[in-house]
Chains A and B, each alone.
Chain A
């Protein structure tokens, strides 16, 4: 992967065309390399599911924040300093003992970037996009999540400009944990709704 070893491996078509685009756009003054660096660095180090996890943990310990989060996800994210592209209309949907929510984008791969980062490959994959709306129980089972037959399943297809995040239920036996400890239990998959905290925790980031 090192930039310095030009003959170490053959570059792919997309890699070469991307480099060509960057070179041409830089020369035409339409982009700067440091602006592109800034975006990549932010999404590699700052903008990711830890942000959403902090919001969930706060909602678990602070009933007033929970209420604000469910009433206006965009404002509740902005309170924590999170917002921007693909998070302008954020809606938080809440799991309860009788209802389980999950999110999908069947038409492309819409995802709440400012609070979850860029989506994982499986979220963007045809199997997830095609099947999640039609056979969610089967898909959830592939993630190791078996829900009771009596649980109502609600699948949110992000087909317009709203981006969704799931507020999972706080697991039992976590009374001793502080906000940070609780946030550590909340994985990306819990906020997409293909996992619940404490059950498939640790299977994927």
Chain B
């Protein structure tokens, strides 16, 4: 979908501000949201891909939210969609916590093993080929318009670039959102800034990773 998350090339933003000595998590709850999500993914729990849910956050709210606030929201939505927790369950629990309730402790060594394994190197899945485009070949990004999740940034749509590198086929993001699983070849495509923003006078190169379904032969 053509949402606010797709920020590449937008103007009107301020300077980038970095925080010296920044910790991995600023507040305890941020680490808990991150840790709960990774635990559910590592154990095949009842959540799916997070990005589509983050992208569906209402525009004003998206901009006003922090990264982990978006994760927390997406986690709630994914659990609700799968019938695990209704929003009212969470509301009631929030009230109980406000009244002094505690988060219960539970130990599960097998689950700890599963999350640890997920943070270790694993044998790479390297599905082969089927690529239609060759390295060095000019390609143009299709002007796709869809309401479902995709990973084709607006700033490259309709623009011609050159295949820099073939990447292993990977799961189509659209199909993840639709609950299907299909791989398609991927590419790193190289774009000249002069083609992306012709009036800027910039001379750098932007390399974008794109699924084959987003590309067509450049005329």
A residues engaging B (CB < 8 A)?
1, 3, 6, 11-12, 14-40, 42-44, 47-48, 74-75, 77-78, 81-85, 88-89, 104, 106-109, 114, 117-118, 120-122, 124-131, 133-137, 139, 142-143, 152-162, 189, 203-205
Contact = CB atoms under 8 A, between A and B. Distances in A.
Given A26-B103, A121-B19, A88 B207 contact: no
A25 B108 CA distance: 13
A21 B16 contact: no
B14 interface: yes
B178 interface: no
Interface of B: 5-11, 13-29, 31-36, 38-43, 45-46, 51, 54, 63, 66-69, 72, 75-76, 79, 84-85, 89-90, 93-94, 96-98, 100-109, 111-112, 114-116, 118-122, 124-125, 151-153, 155, 167-168, 170-171, 186, 188, 193, 196-197, 200, 202-211
Contacts of A160: 151, 167, 170, 186, 209-211
Contact of A33 (B16, B20, B103, B152): B103
A48 B19 CA distance: 16
Given A24-B85, A33-B105, A40 B25 contact: yes
16 contacts: A19-B29, A20-B97, A23-B93, A24-B93, A31-B45, A33-B104, A43-B34, A84-B119, A85-B118, A106-B155, A107-B7, A107-B151, A129-B7, A134-B197, A134-B200, A160-B209
B98 A114 contact: no
Given A23-B93, A122-B17, 20 more contacts: A14-B68, A16-B94, A19-B32, A20-B90, A20-B93, A20-B94, A20-B97, A21-B75, A35-B43, A36-B35, A39-B38, A40-B31, A130-B10, A133-B206, A136-B204, A160-B186, A161-B186, A162-B188, A204-B20, A205-B20
B54 A14 contact: no
B204 A31 contact: no
A39 B35 contact: yes
Contacts of B102: 23
A110 to B, nearest CB: 9
A114 B119 contact: yes
Contacts of A121: 19, 22, 26, 66-67
Contacts of B36: 18, 21-22, 25, 31, 36
Nearest to A162: B209
Nearest to B75: A21
B153 A157 contact: yes
Contacts of B79: 21, 25
A116 to B, nearest CB: 11
A30 to B, nearest CB: 5
Contact of B107 (A3, A17, A27, A32): A32
Contacts of B21: 204-205
B21 to A, nearest CB: 6
Given A35-B114, A106-B7, A205-B22, A139 B94 contact: no
A14 B90 CA distance: 12
A17 B24 contact: no
